[in-house]
Structure 1
């Protein structure tokens, strides 16, 4: 198989969330062509998606050894190091990538993510403040900027950053998930002291400690399923109430089986909605 079609197929599999298939496709290829840097990048991404962190690090290191100045190699090396809580190395790799390509907002975003994972929200917020104006088209960067701002106790600025992300991409799942996290964190903030505590707890929730995996953002399919389930639950409950009202007024005689069906459907929708909710 020629290289470009294979890598394109791996990209398509990864975009569809089929990391296992991508990893199986790439494994024999990197065995035959271990000098292919792009294949190692995709292998690192697939293994990260599969939570094979040591395997991801090995793939990222293979790419980095082939080309230590390649920003994509540095990106995946940083990503794997962060997930393994090797924060100094993760920050160093991301910073090196930024030096190689200072105009690339994706690399600055990776550096800020590495700093948040290391418990350095002030560094992350300051770094993104400097590059935010040049990356006004990058929704992911503004989401990370919002997380950093909230973690240093600036909730209004954080919401403004997420508003900008949604202006770029109205359906951005990361921005909407962050807003929900903000609402939960702010539910306990009633004064300056409690706001500071909420910000500290929020910053701590972004950290990655050795042996602890970060919360994974739900994919768009899971988000859509949860939304449909919540809407369905509302409609089933409304139908139950409507049938009850009609029966109480004598306009309808509803069989018991109708109530059982509606209650079962509502229960199923409620279960799906709960299971589709992102974990934190």
Structure 2
């Protein structure tokens, strides 16, 4: 529903590895979760008590769709800091994605109690409730928070989603409009407006509006196993890399043969050109298919 913000300052005391955490934050902000995970793995192995590193590892694995690994990382951070709002936040995130809604809501509610003035935590609680199909609870919980934290665009978008899911499309648009007033390019807000428009296309009266709202609320739910996203493994990445390198070499061979033949230094049969061009075409297809798979999973 929204892109997670860069993590706040680490809960753990500053260490010599603070630079690693900052670099991991930068990678996560740029969408390079795989690189962040690889960067953090030696750190959590060397410093298993580093709570901030476990938080970032949980986020990286969530971004990669490794929900089991994300839960393990979130639990490691939670065991180190069981009352910490950040630890509870990531535990709730991992539980929600796995469809463990009771645990996700309980963890988010506990985080809100630990830091009641933090809108990010109230937003997490509402997201957990929406994922569980409890749109009315989410809307009610954000009603007063949205007034106090009207500066938080992410929270306003979640509030708008909850309002639409309980059949209040005008209020939902108003909430999302407030989010866009804060951040005109907010991707979540713009996606929400498109989703509202699509849902409303079938609403012609009160009865059909109720159906549209119910269907919209259902679309926000996460069922057990639904949140898992398959990601390409190292083997697929290696295949794509080898294919790209092979394509470049085959194209260079075609160009080299043409230059030598033009200079009178080589007489190349047509079959050689045909073989090189065919090989380049195969390598190009493999590279394109591997790249497309990475983008669509």
The partner residue of 1:39 within 40, 50, 53 is 53
Tell me the alpha carbon deviations over residues 207-230 of structure 1, each in whole angstroms, 9 at most, x when there is no partner: 000121289xxxxxxxxxxxxxxx
| Structure 2 equivalent of residue 218 of structure 1 | none
Higher relative contact order (CA closer than 8 Å, sequence separation 6+): 2
What is the root-mean-square deviation of aligned Cα atoms in Å?
1.6
The answer to whether 1:101 aligns with 2:118 is: no
Q: Segments of 4+ in structure 1 off by > 4 A? A: none
Establish whether residue 82 from structure 1 lines up as the match of residue 96 from structure 2: yes
Q: Is the 8 A contact 1:206 1:214 kept in 2?
A: no
Unmatched segments (≥5 aa) in structure 1: 216-274
Counterpart position of 2:42: 28
Give the whole-Å Cα distance in 2 for the aligned partners of 1:131 and 1:36.
Answer: 32
Cα distance in 2 for partners of 1:185, 1:50 equals 29
Hey, what's the Cα distance between the residues in 1 that align with 2:188 and 2:67?
22
Tell me which residue corresponds to 2:63. Answer: 49
TM-score by length of 1: 0.76
> 2 CA distance for matches of 1:106 and 1:141?
7
CA shift, 1:2, in A, is: 2.5
Q: 1 CA distance for matches of 2:122 and 2:228?
A: 20
Aligned equivalent of 2:160: 146
1:38-58 deviation digits (Å, cap 9, x = unpaired): 000000000000000000000
Superposed CA offset, 1:63-83 (max 9, x none)? 000010110000000000000
- Alignment correspondent of 1:161: 175
C-alpha distance in structure 2 between counterparts of 1:148 and 1:214, whole Å: 23
For 1:66 and 1:81, the matched residues in 2 are separated by 18
Q: 2: CA distance between counterparts of 1:97 and 1:112?
A: 12
TM-score norm. by structure 2 comes to 0.72
Name which of 172, 175, 182 aligns with 2:186. 172
